[in-house]
Amino acid sequence: MDAKDKKIATDLAYEIIKEVSRAIRPYAGTPEAGEKVKMGADGTPTSYIDIIAEDTLINILKNAPVLSYIISEEVGELKLGKGTKRSINLIEELKRDDIPDDEIPKFIFLVDPIDGTSNAIKEIPAYGISIAVANVPKGRLATLDDVELGFITNFGNGNFFEAEKGKGCWLNNEKVNPSKVVKFSEMTLGGFTKSGTSAASKLVDNARRMRVLGSVVLELSYVASGRYDAFLDLRGSRIIDIAASKLIVEEAGAIITSKHGEKLNNTLSIYEKAIVVAANNEMLHKQIINILNDNEVDVIGKVGIVSRVDQDNAIIFTAKLVDYFLTNGIEVVIEKRLASKIEELKENPKIDKIIEKTLKNHPEMSEVLDELNLDIDFKKIAKDINEFECDMAVVLGGDGTLLRAQAKLKEETPLLGINMGTVGFLTDIEVSETFNALNQILKGDYYKEKRSKLMVSHENHIFNAMNEVVIMTNKPAKMLHFEIQVDGEIIEEVRADGLIISTPSGSTAYAMSAGGPIVDPKLGGFIIIPICPYKLGARPFIVSDNSEITVKLLKKGKSAVFVMDGQINEEADYLEEIKFKKAEKDVYFIRTSTKYFYEKVKEKLREGGLNSQERCL
């Protein structure tokens, strides 16, 4: 958008604000203003005062000398200008390549004619108009990154915010800056939470004051101007509400992201929503993000290391990690069996050739294995894994190694997986990324991802599983007969080769291979999957993790084996019950990227499930 186009867009925005203000003034605070006229394009009720405001802005853009797309709360998506008005689907319109050059609009206007309609109806002075102007991209969909201009006016008191991308933000023609507050006890917090959100309650309880004005666009602007220190909308704000205020917040120097701290760059559409978290500065914003994600990070002072011991590359890399942590002043403890393997390797007269061969077979290690220091007494820092007292356990290996480690470690020890296995779905870090990730973690720049575990009860014995429990016959090619109950209600009776009860974490393992769905690990549920059922209607179930699942064997004379995470085997006989509930303690993973799960799905589960580089499990 060049200077000339910005001038045209700004003049149109000024005219819209002036004329909408004039049009709605007689109706503010009147019974007529609140009459429900219809349902808006966004699915919310439309009041008479909304219609007055929107008709005014549509008339201005319809008669403008340039063509524009508009996304607005009540009418949805239109193409306006040069005396024309036409309903469109913006996403489909931007995909077209057959529009003549003189028919391509110059701008995309995102407008909420009145944000805070209820306030306007009751004549509470906190309602206004929001206008964002975006470029019309070529050959792709439009996103929040395309917004160049933002305008917000509070009709209740006349305050006028405007921002230009890369140029700054102004309130009533004066530059604005956010506050410098960094403590919750001094924070003024605005926003909308959701019932039952304990993390949000903690924010509200610890803030100096909480404000709820009922206007997202105005309250976000208050973060930019220092009236608020932070604002959040955990319900999800419409893109038309945040398009202008996001630009205003960012141009003032404040921060606005998703709940997980990710950049907001949603597609411009009437249907698009985003959970928003805004704060005056990075320090306060990071504290809020950590609380919302149950991630009040701890200082890492002591690290435990667990590794597979069947491959030289893992053993050598463990030695490198020990040296790294000790050099950075971090206390280290390693498995006794692992310590013995490193000491054996140190004493091997062919150690140089072993390292040379390792680097040849694993070139990804060459960048991170310089200056290997083996002059450490590894046995002196060794303990049994169940005796580890540490702030973080680093696990080198594949998913099997990680599952074995978490089963033996003290409950809720946070895990960081370094992938030295085959698929490595649970392991977050590749070898080449290890030390960049660790530098980040030691600075406190990480979050803890919580995952559920299964508690398995059988004949007064209790077991735990993080991925899945598999029930099957101990005789090949024989079927079992199962009765499956959820909270005492029989949901299925089926003959099958076996049965899988899986957590969301296990949905990408055996459960997926058996035809189960891939489940986001943040979901609170368990998956029940019959293995090769002799019944057309037998399909996987997803049930709440607040439920109790009971599996009973119905075939007399047949026993079954149930296996927890491929680690622990137990037997069950005819009419014996195996019960499954959510374990009281969860598993925590150290993560450095908020986009962990779906990126792993795309990366790891392509055809064959493996990277092109061969690795052994």
Catalytic residue, candidates 399, 428, 545, 565: 399
CB 105 within 8 A of CB 69: yes
**Residue labelled with tokens 């929107």:** 54
Any idea what DSSP says for residue 351? H
* 330: three-class secondary structure by DSSP: coil
Determine the 3-state secondary structure of 380 from DSSP: helix
Residue 562 near residue 470 (C-beta atoms within 8 A): yes
How is residue 108 written in tokens? 């995309």
CA–CA gap between residue 42 and residue 388 (Å, rounded):
54
Side-chain-side CA neighbours of 197 within 13 Å: the count stands at 17
The type of residue at 271 is: Y
Write out the H or E segment, with its range, that includes residue 569.
Answer: strand 568-572
Residue 119 — φ and ψ, nearest 5°?
A: -65, -40
Contacts of 376 (CB under 8 A, 6+ apart): 319, 322, 323, 326
Instruction: Yes or no: say if 109 and 222 are a contact pair by the CB < 8 Å rule.
Output: no
User: How far is Cα 160 from Cα 164, in angstroms, rounded to an integer?
Assistant: 14
Query: What totals of helices (H) and strands (E) does the chain contain, helices first?
Result: 15, 36
Phi, psi of 406 (to 5 degrees): -65, -25
Q: Mention every residue, 6+ apart, whose C-beta is less than 8 A from residue 277.
A: 230, 231, 232, 256, 257, 258, 259, 261, 285, 288, 289, 292
- Give every strand in the sheet of 577-582, ordered side by side: 461-465, 454-458, 577-582, 549-553, 480-486, 489-496
Burial (Cβ within 10 Å: 0-12, 13-18, ≥19) of residue 196: exposed
Q: What does the DSSP assignment read for 117-154? A: HHHHHTT-S--EEEEEEEE--SSS--BGGGEEEEEEEE
Q: Which helix (H) or strand (E) holds 492?
A: strand 489-496
DSSP-derived secondary structure letter, 593: -
- Calpha distance 612→617 (Å, rounded): 15
What is the three-class DSSP state of 181? coil
Residue 54: CB atoms within 10 A of its CB come to 23
115 is catalytic: no
SS (H, E, C) 499-556: EEEECCHHHHCHHHHCCCCCCCCCCCEEEEEEECCCCCCCCCEEEECCCCEEEEECCC
Query: Could you list the active site residues?
Result: 399
